[in-house]
Structure 1
Amino acid sequence: MHHEADLKAVMPEEFELESATNFAVMLAWVAGAVVAAYFVGVGLSWAAQRLGRRSDWIRDLVVLTRRPVRAMLMIVAATIALDRTSDADASWRGWVDHSLRILMIAAVTWLLANLVQVAERRMIARFGGGDTGLTDADLHRRKVRTQVTVLRRLAVAVVVLLGIAAMLMTFPSFADIGTTLFASAGVLSVVAGLAAQTSLGAVFAGLQIAFTDAIRVGDVVVIEKEWGRIEEITLTYVVVTIWDERRLILPCTYFTTTPFENWTRNATEVMGIVELDVDFTVPLDEMRTELKRILAANEHLWDERLGVLEVTSAINGYVRVWITISAPNSSALWGLRCAVREAMINWLQRRESALPRWRFEPAPTPDPRERRAVTTSRVASEGVFTGSQEAEERARAFEGDDERVPESGSRLR
């Protein structure tokens, strides 16, 4: 009796020890399989890179897909090692197998997304100018790059959504919901309803921007009274680099609903104006000669299309002059306008009479004697005696009226 009890006490300990040993062996096999799969992936990448030295396609495939391929190999190796070294009826196998299945779906999604990036690189290299810097004049290449980039983002978004859906379908509850949803005849109406929402509306606006050629990556625009350049176009927003290196982030719907200026829509050549107020005495012919000299000194900025000086106003005591100039692009125009303005100011400073001045001319002061004579004549004309009948009689007598002139020695009454 006592011997049987001792055996029962020892057997659980031996069983636990044996289980722990088997679990450690299994972990060792899984770890070894994962490490071996990783080095197999490294070898495959090295071999593919050696074979595809002269092929840009293979080089991009190796660079962009080596990590997801290694991850897939490691997951497959771990799954095979578990199947060979563990009991399929073990309590923990269910959630481990489910986790490995989800990891495999994630790795496949990662691989497909990177394959989309490979296609994008090859399309840009062939039609969009490759990795070389683009100028404002590269209208076609900037258009291709914009459209390919937007398509790549859309494809990656679709792949990621399908991957997430596949992961959710591995859960029985989500599988039933998904089967019912996709089998429903009203799925199209659901998608159309969602498209009317703000988020998907921005996505469709991004596609519209890319394929209607309203803006392209690298375009010079004026938005919200800010001069900038389109840096990035995504499915939902557009990044504009302002002249002072700030970033203006705008939703794609902004460009489909709000007017804005695009200075490089069809061409990069632009014109600008330098405005000056000068005095009426400025010699305009000499000023035009000075303008020609300034433009010739800045030939690296001026495209020689336009360089004229015109008088647009001559009121309020000064003459307003517009200098209209042209440049190959907006950056050159800004520099040329600043150079012309500064040179013209220096020229006006050398000619002090050309600077605008206000003139005041006081009224002439009459001679005091003339003023006294005018006052006397005014008094004489108005009369000294006035105000009553007797005074008027005295005035007539004073003026020498024959009827009222008294004799000598007589008194006035």
Structure 2
Amino acid sequence: MVTPPIDAANTPSSIQILRGEMLDFADGLRHWPDGLLLIRNGRIEALGHASDLLPQIAPDQLVESFTGLLLPGFIDTHIHYPQTGIIASHGEQLLDWLNRYTFPREMAFANPQLAAEEANFFLDQLARNGTTTAVVYPTVHPVSVDALCNAAQARHQTILTGKVMMDRFAPPELLDTPDSAYHDSKALIERWHGQGRLKYVLTPRFAPTSSPEQLTRVGQLRREHPEVYLQTHLSENLKEVAWVKELYPKAKDYLDVYDHYGLLGERSLFGHCIHLSDREWQQMAASGSVIAFCPTSNLFLGSGLFDLERCHREQIRLSLATDVGGGTSFSLLTTLGEAYKVARLQGADLNPQQAFYQITLGNARALGLEQQIGSLEPGKYADLVLLDTAATPLLNKRCQLAETLEEKLFALMFLGGEQAIAATWVAGQRLYARKTV
């Protein structure tokens, strides 16, 4: 059983020195069997082998030892915090699932108290699963953004979010207008973007629920605020693709709808992208846009299999995400296991080094945040996760028989999950530690 180190002050301004087995993927797999990590003011100051760094440590400085594997904190690039309470709702396909479960639940987030409670519960779930950064969908209500940003700021956490925009094909309680979406988003950008570690994301839910007039306003916001991000959904479900064709008959395809309004680019994240045409694959690559691959929701809703091999072949920027609550787990370890299965069903592979790179430095690079998070390099935030390879008897047995570190990582993808998270830190502050006996 892992015993997480106890933080001396448990604040971002504390000085901490952690000693144990560490790894990251900054230059392939980097591994320190007995590493030393110095954290000062919430950032990594030094990293190396304990034998090299211990002589430089003052005799009275506390060095906190741990067992397990210490990695950079995990990064989730597509997740819906209002859907936390409807995770594992009996399966429907996408459009039915939205109407039956998602929209009724999202109506409740007009209540600021409920939104605040849900935001804190959601961030607690991220920490329990080793996720330290996330790109998050709230609801159409500005108070849902305020609640999440307030909770994240109190934790010194990197959260990227922005109010959902949709002005049609949803219950009246969830509709905005092109003008209100513009003005509310502009006010939220001014209030939250760049505050602490927060980033704002323009969030038209998807093309069917935004009229041409609203997408025009989204494009205007993007031109006025090129520093912010954009997220939406693309080609998740065949019925959805056909619906978009009916609503936007002049567009070449689904992606062309977003392209027409100037929504593609290096800070644009498109969830799912399962049913892309050849032209769409090529345009995704040419625009530098990012795909958020969401395997558990794609399987749960029966949406289809994402073509991971083609994504790599087309050299499209890729990220991996849980997509809770269509996704069935907050755990990016579990998500990696499902991504592997999706790849294998199409004759491709996802090896453990590629997998763990993706949910750490790979996702950081997809967000353009690799100078701040994603690896254990000095100067970056001390966002960390401690994995317990003995979390369950079965995982322990498999890891004891593993001949390489890569075999242990592979086992964690299938036998780990939430129970393998021993502790999670954000900016040097321990947000979660599993109770030990």
- Which of 1 and 2 has greater Rg? 1
Which is strand-richer, 1 or 2?
2
TM-score range, shorter chain: under 0.3
Under a length normalisation based on structure 1, what TM-score does the superposition of the two structures give? Answer: 0.18
Which is helix-richer, 1 or 2?
1
Higher relative contact order (CA closer than 8 Å, sequence separation 6+): 2
Under a length normalisation based on structure 2, what TM-score does the superposition of the two structures give? Answer: 0.17
